[in-house]
């Protein structure tokens, strides 16, 4: 497929890179994880809270079953093993946006373990990135530091938002793989319909643990964690920076310190945020307010029924069964609505023209007019109708573009537009032959020039013939006829 993406690691052939990624995925359930408060953050501060998510003493959490459904979906979507019995734990730390003084999460026995996510490498081969675990937990609130004053505020609308934390093994060995992994995981959770995927709003947040080591070393180097970067591109930039920073330290005889770092998108450097806590610092213990959670086969079977086709399976089907190129399939997979659009139209036409019209004309039009696919008047059915008119030779490419524009604006049927505007292609050889014969007879000077080796004159005759047919002539037939009569 594409050429290898350059990386700063290429400059250090003795070094290897290991990256493990923790992703926090916000779930789109209606209510929060342990109470009935609405799971919404867009409202004014502290409007979506209750005694439970505000952390009042003496209140009791009740687990939202839908969160478990979504966690099971995530497990099935990532080839993970679901534990029949799991529990919740308290992870203690102090922060003003966490009034309870602990986060309710899962500790030693999370809901699922040992999954994997396939990613496509630059050479097209598949590599499985293994998952250590996926667990359910609650999000904290938000501290808001007012600008220009010394005041800070706490908004607890986000407190109690259900999260899945998805933790990979340090199997990721390049910046490219890190981005491919994050995109693959992002596709999975959005295809499953359990997360909005909106990175800017923090619905999909990645913490990236990066370490370098000499290739001949069998132990991992000391890792640094890059916190909460909200775009694939910035994560790539940050990893590239961190590779060089850590190798420079080691090369100059210094040590890499285990710490959490922040990525500064303006200066394009990472900065120390804090030295990393060890797990023991959080004093995890089993939450006495929440019972053990038992998940039986029947529950899993019920969720399995809801499992949609996953992006990787769709990619394989698009490339092997339908015959799209990896590049084309990749674009469709990246946008589930577009993939669905393609499939609906493909059910009505198997033409190779379809993918070209979708990727070139449809996407181009939407981009140019800043439209969403959902607002598009050219439904998949109308698109298939247009393609069928081209394939049957009813209209030529120029007319098809004209029809396309009209359908985009009106949503009218292409066949009706063609009839009303008289755009049918002149495909009858008899009709075109008469026109070509006439042209050759009327332009003896140009014929002479062509015959004496001026090949360019061929284009003159094609243009004249198209003009004569008001753009409706079948260009292929015209060219064949011209070759015959000009020789």
Task: Look up residue 150 and give its DSSP letter.
Answer: S
Contact at 8 Å (CB) between 62 and 22? no
Complex with Mn ion: residue 98 or 435, whichever CB lies closer: 98
Q: Tokens representing 386?
A: 């247009």
Alpha-carbon Rg for the chain, nearest whole angstrom, is 30
Coil, strand or helix: which one is 205?
Answer: strand
Q: Return residues touching Mn ion (CB under 5 A).
A: 165
Q: What angle do CA 87, 88, 94 make, to 5 degrees?
A: 160
| Short-list 475, 103, 28, 76, CA closest to 306 | 76
CB of 97 to Mn ion, least distance (A): 14
Complex with Mn ion: residue 80 or 469, whichever CB lies closer: 80
CB of 62 to Mn ion, least distance (A): 21
Complex with Mn ion: residue 165 or 177, whichever CB lies closer: 165
CB of 105 to Mn ion, least distance (A): 6
Q: Tokens representing 47?
A: 């409007």
Complex with Mn ion: residue 224 or 383, whichever CB lies closer: 224
CB of 167 to Mn ion, least distance (A): 9
Complex with Mn ion: residue 7 or 87, whichever CB lies closer: 87
Task: Look up residue 312 and give its DSSP letter.
Answer: H
CB of 226 to Mn ion, least distance (A): 15
Residue ranges of E strands in 60-125: 81-82, 85-86, 89-92, 102-105, 112-120
CB of 138 to Mn ion, least distance (A): 9
Q: Tokens representing 472?
A: 């409706």
CB of 165 to Mn ion, least distance (A): 4
The residue number with the shortest CB distance to Mn ion is 165
Complex with Mn ion: residue 204 or 315, whichever CB lies closer: 204
Q: What are phi and psi of 161, to 5 degrees?
A: -65, 130
Using CB atoms within 10 Å of the CB of residue 55, give its burial: 0 to 12 exposed, 13 to 18 middle, 19+ buried: middle
**H or E stretch covering 69:** helix 65-77
Q: Which residue has the tokens 């919404």?
A: 40
Q: Tokens representing 383?
A: 């698109």
Q: Let me know how many helices (H) and strands (E) the chain has, helices first.
A: 16, 16
Contact at 8 Å (CB) between 159 and 98? yes
Complex with Mn ion: residue 56 or 93, whichever CB lies closer: 93
CB of 47 to Mn ion, least distance (A): 25
Complex with Mn ion: residue 110 or 380, whichever CB lies closer: 110
């Amino acid at each position: 497929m594409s050429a290898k993406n350059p990386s700063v690691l290429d400059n250090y052939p003795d070094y290897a890179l290991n990256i493990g990624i923790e992703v926090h995925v916000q779930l789109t359930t209606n209510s929060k994880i342990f109470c009935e408060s609405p799971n919404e953050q867009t409202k004014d501060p502290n409007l979506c809270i209750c005694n439970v998510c505000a952390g009042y003493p003496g209140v009791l959490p009740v687990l939202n079953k839908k969160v478990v459904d979504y966690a099971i979906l995530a497990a099935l979507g990532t080839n993970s093993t679901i534990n029949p019995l799991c529990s919740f734990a308290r992870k203690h730390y102090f922060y003003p946006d966490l009034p309870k003084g602990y986060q309710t999460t899962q500790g030693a026995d999370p809901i699922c373990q040992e999954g994997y996510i396939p990613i496509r490498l630059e050479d097209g081969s598949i590599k499985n990135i293994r998952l250590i675990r996926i667990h359910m937990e609650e999000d904290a609130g938000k501290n808001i530091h007012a600008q220009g004053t010394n005041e800070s505020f706490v908004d607890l609308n986000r407190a109690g938002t259900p999260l899945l934390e998805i933790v990979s093994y340090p199997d990721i060995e390049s910046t490219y793989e890190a981005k491919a992994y994050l995109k693959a995981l992002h596709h999975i959770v959005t295809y499953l319909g359990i997360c909005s995927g909106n990175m800017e709003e923090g619905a999909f947040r990645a913490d990236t643990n990066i370490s370098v080591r000499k290739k001949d070393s069998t132990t991992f180097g000391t890792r640094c964690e890059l916190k909460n970067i909200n775009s694939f591109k910035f994560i790539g930039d940050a990893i590239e920076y961190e590779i060089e920073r850590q190798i420079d330290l080691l090369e100059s005889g210094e040590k890499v310190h285990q710490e959490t770092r922040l990525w500064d998108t303006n200066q394009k450097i990472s900065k120390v945020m804090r030295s990393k806590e060890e797990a023991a610092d959080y004093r995890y213990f089993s939450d006495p307010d929440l019972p053990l959670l038992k998940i039986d086969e029947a529950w899993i079977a019920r969720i399995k029924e809801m499992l949609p086709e996953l992006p990787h399976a769709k990619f394989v089907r698009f490339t092997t069964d339908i015959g799209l190129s990896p590049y084309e399939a990749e674009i469709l997979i990246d946008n589930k609505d577009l993939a669905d659009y393609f499939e609906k139209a493909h059910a009505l036409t198997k033409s190779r023209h379809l993918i070209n019209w979708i990727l070139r004309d449809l996407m181009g039009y939407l981009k140019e007019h800043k439209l969403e696919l959902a607002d598009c008047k050219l439904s998949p059915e109308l698109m298939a109708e247009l393609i069928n008119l081209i394939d049957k030779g009813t209209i030529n490419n120029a007319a098809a573009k004209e029809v396309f524009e009209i359908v985009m604006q009106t949503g009218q049927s292409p066949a009706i537009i063609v009839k009303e505007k008289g755009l049918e292609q002149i495909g009858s050889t008899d009709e075109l032959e008469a026109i070509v014969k006439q042209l050759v007879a009327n332009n003896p000077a140009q014929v002479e020039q062509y015959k004496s080796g001026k090949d360019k004159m061929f284009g003159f005759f094609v243009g004249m013939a198209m003009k004569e047919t008001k753009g409706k002539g079948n260009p292929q037939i015209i060219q064949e006829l011209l070759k015959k009569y000009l020789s």
